[in-house]
Structure 1
Amino acid sequence: MRSRSLPAVYWFLWSGMLINRLGGFAVLYLSLYLTDVRHLGASAAGLVTGLAGVGGMAGVLLGGSLADRWGRRRTLLACHAGTAVSLLVLGLSSALPLIAGATVLVGAGQAMAGPAFVAAIVDVVPEADRTRAFNLQFWAFNLGTAAASLMAGLLVRVGFTLLFVLDAATTVVTLCVLALGVPETRPSVTPGRGPGIGVALRDRVFLAFVGLSLLSAVVVAQTSTVLPLSMRRHGLPPGDYGLVAGLAGGLIVVGQLFVPRLIVGRRKGPVLALAAALQGLGIAVLAPLGGALWGCLLAAAVWTCGGMLAAPPNAAVVAELSPADLRARYQAVFYLVFPAAAFLAPAMGGWGLEHLSDAYWLLPAALALLAAAGHLAASGPRERRRARPGGQYEAPRRWRRASGRG
């Protein structure tokens, strides 16, 4: 690993993200906390958990705007400080309005950090080294997630409050690392004021990809929001969910090293279709086997294989479809998929578990198969777009004039 060639500022960013993920306990067990400690029903717990997704949708847009206009450093410090306070409020409050409000703020604060982190990395890492830098970032994210899942399974035996306190503490440590090692990296240029989001929202090929990504994201989000409730209904202890989440994260950390060799040179549409199908198959396994720990572990292994296959082509498709001068705004539209899924998955899953029991898992499995079919159907238009000169969406003339693009 030629790690010494990457700038020191990058390693402070990388370390901060790893520390934050290592302490990311609270969201993993939020739904169980709401049912076991705050005595909400599954439907109510699903809706409150989904509020993190509502906050996340606002946080992604706000974080991108602040990072460009206010600065990367100030955005990162502000969102980590706000998230730490919100986590403490969430873990120590008993009033439902406070819990709901803190959940929104936690989701917003955590989502705000994403655009600023990515922008800062692009600012400080030379273009030739960015692929390696983002691979290391992805590896750190999943390593931290896997370790947090295993530790949370042990810590929850002491009490749910400890999870929120330690999550807040590691968020403060992350803030200190960023404050010490990350200067302002924003280039000294005036941010563009053209209608970039509007251009992305008129790009039908891109929006088709975003829609299919949302279907897959809703399926994947079931594994962190609805699965803990399902395991609890079957009498499995909270620590067992930590084992499932830890297995998934560990497989990604190891499998990431081999996936590029498996998919290099292959068309992205069929790869994404296979990934979605594997995710659906893994979710479907929970219908007959979700009441046993070994069944949940088997399901996690299958859907994680799908997730590993999906990550590289997802990033490549967004890059290929984005005009060079609108990449950040295309990314902002794409990343709205994940907080939206964080809201839809628990809201849908809480109701489904109460009314359909284990048969509910066939519904997200069907969504995954729909996404697989959609990727096959959309592959042709995406490839034709990529093959034409420029390979990107050209906005109507009035939009180009308004944004100064011709």
Structure 2
Amino acid sequence: MRGWLRDTTGGLPRTFWYLWAGTLINRLGSFILVFLAIYLTQERGFNELAAGLVLSLWGVGGAVGTTLGGMLADRWGRRPTLLTSHLGAAVMMLTLGFAQELWAVAGGALLLGLFAEAARPAFGAMMIDVVPEQDRLRAFSLNYWAINLGFACAAVLAGLAAEASYLLLFVIDAATTLATAAIIFVKVAESRVPVRASRISAGAARPRGALRVILGDRVYLGFVALNLLGAVVFLQHISMLPIAMADDGLSPSTYGMVIALNGVLIVAGQLFVPRLIRGRSRSHVLALAAVVMGVGFGLTAFADAAWLYGLTVLIWTIGEMLNSPSNSTLVAELSPADLRGRYQGVLSLSWQVAGATAPIFGGLVRQQAGNAALWLGCAAIGVVMAVAHLVSGPARERRAAALRPPTEPAKPAEPLTAVQSAVPQAAEAAVAAPAIAGHAPEPTPAR
């Protein structure tokens, strides 16, 4: 056990652990997004369409925030971007908690999404800056573990707090966000290397050409498109799952307990996943993760009791656990050194687009075609994603090898036709989330 612990946590930079602690504290209070759909429909009396639109505006604000956050992380710096986004998010959480009219709630959700999600690109870029490539699989897994440890506790506590006062959810979330900002302010130094001193990235001579470089990177954009599909499926657990459980007569606290199983399983097993998938084909791991996640969400069509909903959560959580480490390390390797913030921003943008569209698509499908059609459609998307990962995997590995600094040992490219075992059957991951996962997400995730 001591050897496993040393192999899992040893040798990581001090800055990483400060970021890790901030993540854990922030996620311990991540109450709002988990219960926003229930708050809007049950406490405020809005209909499903209005609730979906508010959640979508959160996603729209997040899309703007991640784009702006990625640019600021590269130009202004990781640290000031993180501080500004956390402080702004804390203020908007309190504002949203006191908002009464629909227009005020919608505007608060829009601005909260902007500030909260602006932190994602800066956080991801700083993680890549301070952690060497050979340690990133462990680092991202540990960070994802912290996200879900906090999320598991938050889901249970939020369900209990919601029965006392929904306003308490907003206050606690704001307080933990401010605590994270305090850790960054006191303990975390700027990690961005000035552009003039950085290694010139392949295909990007100047940061001001970043948009042209990213739009021309078809390999990366293809990966982002797959992440978008996965996020649309994954985010149904925030938008449509609580509504489906409420229709079956289950209380908000029951939803909190069921969704907490996601965090519990990740906390119990995520630290073993890096060793499980080490040395295996990333495209095969990602394909398997997509299938498992699709099956988990697809089985929700047949759930009508708390234990059945819990079983589906456990299944798609295994897919999430397999996805997150490979997803995060691949994004890091596909990001040119001078454009890490912007590349992280584009990936986070896919989560925000999903956040804006998933509630609307989910609500429309559920309303027009029924509950079963929504969840079986999620299963079909999982199969499509799996095939796409298998087809596009070799090109991604070649691109990662081309961007790898000459001083780092090259990893062998994925074989074009070899069929190998993706992962022994057993255990999930964000995004990212942020992730899907996330929420962080995502990274999944500040959520």
Normalising by structure 2, we get a TM-score of 0.80
More off after superposition, 252-261 vs 277-286: 252-261
Confirm or deny that 1:286 pairs with 2:294.
no
For 1:18, give the aligned amino acid: L
More off after superposition, 182-191 vs 26-35: 182-191
Work out which of the residue numbers 153, 156, 176 in structure 2 matches 1:150: 156
CA distance in structure 1 between the partners assigned to 2:173 and 2:221 by the alignment? 35
Confirm or deny that 1:267 pairs with 2:258.
no
Work out which of the residue numbers 142, 147, 157 in structure 2 matches 1:141: 147
Confirm or deny that 1:329 pairs with 2:331.
no
Alpha-carbon spacing, 1:125–1:157, altered in 2? closer, same or farther (3 Å): same
Alpha-carbon spacing, 1:274–1:136, altered in 2? closer, same or farther (3 Å): closer
For 1:149, give the aligned amino acid: A
For 1:174, give the aligned amino acid: T
SS at match of 1:256: helix
Confirm or deny that 1:242 pairs with 2:248.
no
Aligned residue in 1 for 2:119: 113
CA distance in structure 1 between the partners assigned to 2:129 and 2:334 by the alignment? 22
Aligned residue in 1 for 2:73: 67
Alpha-carbon spacing, 1:118–1:380, altered in 2? closer, same or farther (3 Å): closer
For 2:123, give the aligned amino acid: F
1:43 touches 1:354 (CA, 8 Å); kept in 2?
no
Q: Deviations for 1:332-375, whole angstroms, at most 9, x for unmatched residues?
A: 22222111111111111122333333222122222222212222
CA distance in structure 2 between the partners assigned to 1:303 and 1:124 by the alignment? 31
Confirm or deny that 1:204 pairs with 2:218.
yes
Aligned residue in 2 for 1:345: 358
Aligned residue in 1 for 2:330: 317
CA distance in structure 1 between the partners assigned to 2:272 and 2:122 by the alignment? 29
2:58 touches 2:111 (CA, 8 Å); kept in 1?
yes
Aligned residue in 2 for 1:364: 378
After TM superposition, give the deviation of residue 20 of structure 1 in Å: 0.8
CA distance in structure 2 between the partners assigned to 1:183 and 1:382 by the alignment? 32
After TM superposition, give the deviation of residue 45 of structure 1 in Å: 0.7
Percent identical residues: 48
1:288 touches 1:358 (CA, 8 Å); kept in 2?
no
CA distance in structure 2 between the partners assigned to 1:214 and 1:12 by the alignment? 30
CA distance in structure 1 between the partners assigned to 2:376 and 2:103 by the alignment? 33
CA distance in structure 1 between the partners assigned to 2:47 and 2:268 by the alignment? 37
Confirm or deny that 1:378 pairs with 2:384.
no
Aligned residue in 1 for 2:188: 182
Aligned residue in 2 for 1:173: 179
After TM superposition, give the deviation of residue 378 of structure 1 in Å: 2.3
Work out which of the residue numbers 359, 365, 368 in structure 2 matches 1:355: 368
Work out which of the residue numbers 53, 63, 66 in structure 1 matches 2:59: 53
CA distance in structure 2 between the partners assigned to 1:34 and 1:17 by the alignment? 27
For 1:272, give the aligned amino acid: L
CA distance in structure 2 between the partners assigned to 1:389 and 1:176 by the alignment? 35
CA distance in structure 1 between the partners assigned to 2:220 and 2:386 by the alignment? 16
Q: Deviations for 1:65-120, whole angstroms, at most 9, x for unmatched residues?
A: 22232233322222111111111111111111111111011111111112222333
CA distance in structure 2 between the partners assigned to 1:4 and 1:311 by the alignment? 21
Alpha-carbon spacing, 1:176–1:201, altered in 2? closer, same or farther (3 Å): same
Alpha-carbon spacing, 1:357–1:128, altered in 2? closer, same or farther (3 Å): closer
After TM superposition, give the deviation of residue 207 of structure 1 in Å: 2.0
Aligned residue in 2 for 1:100: 106
RMSD of aligned residue pairs (Cα, Å) = 2.5
Alpha-carbon spacing, 1:131–1:260, altered in 2? closer, same or farther (3 Å): closer
Alpha-carbon spacing, 1:295–1:173, altered in 2? closer, same or farther (3 Å): same
After TM superposition, give the deviation of residue 26 of structure 1 in Å: 0.6
Q: Deviations for 1:150-176, whole angstroms, at most 9, x for unmatched residues?
A: 111211111212111111122222222
CA distance in structure 2 between the partners assigned to 1:124 and 1:300 by the alignment? 34
Aligned residue in 2 for 1:79: 85
Q: Deviations for 1:223-242, whole angstroms, at most 9, x for unmatched residues?
A: 12211111111110001111
1:53 touches 1:339 (CA, 8 Å); kept in 2?
yes
Confirm or deny that 1:30 pairs with 2:36.
yes
Alpha-carbon spacing, 1:133–1:209, altered in 2? closer, same or farther (3 Å): closer
SS at match of 2:207: coil
Aligned length: 390
Alpha-carbon spacing, 1:14–1:363, altered in 2? closer, same or farther (3 Å): same
Alpha-carbon spacing, 1:119–1:216, altered in 2? closer, same or farther (3 Å): closer
SS at match of 1:301: helix
Work out which of the residue numbers 14, 17, 26 in structure 1 matches 2:20: 14
CA distance in structure 1 between the partners assigned to 2:175 and 2:235 by the alignment? 25
1:31 touches 1:45 (CA, 8 Å); kept in 2?
yes
CA distance in structure 2 between the partners assigned to 1:112 and 1:302 by the alignment? 31
Alpha-carbon spacing, 1:325–1:303, altered in 2? closer, same or farther (3 Å): same
Aligned residue in 2 for 1:402: none
1:46 touches 1:226 (CA, 8 Å); kept in 2?
no
Q: How does 1:207-246 map to 2 (within 5 A)?
A: 207-246=221-260
Higher helix share: 1
SS at match of 1:40: coil
For 1:266, give the aligned amino acid: R
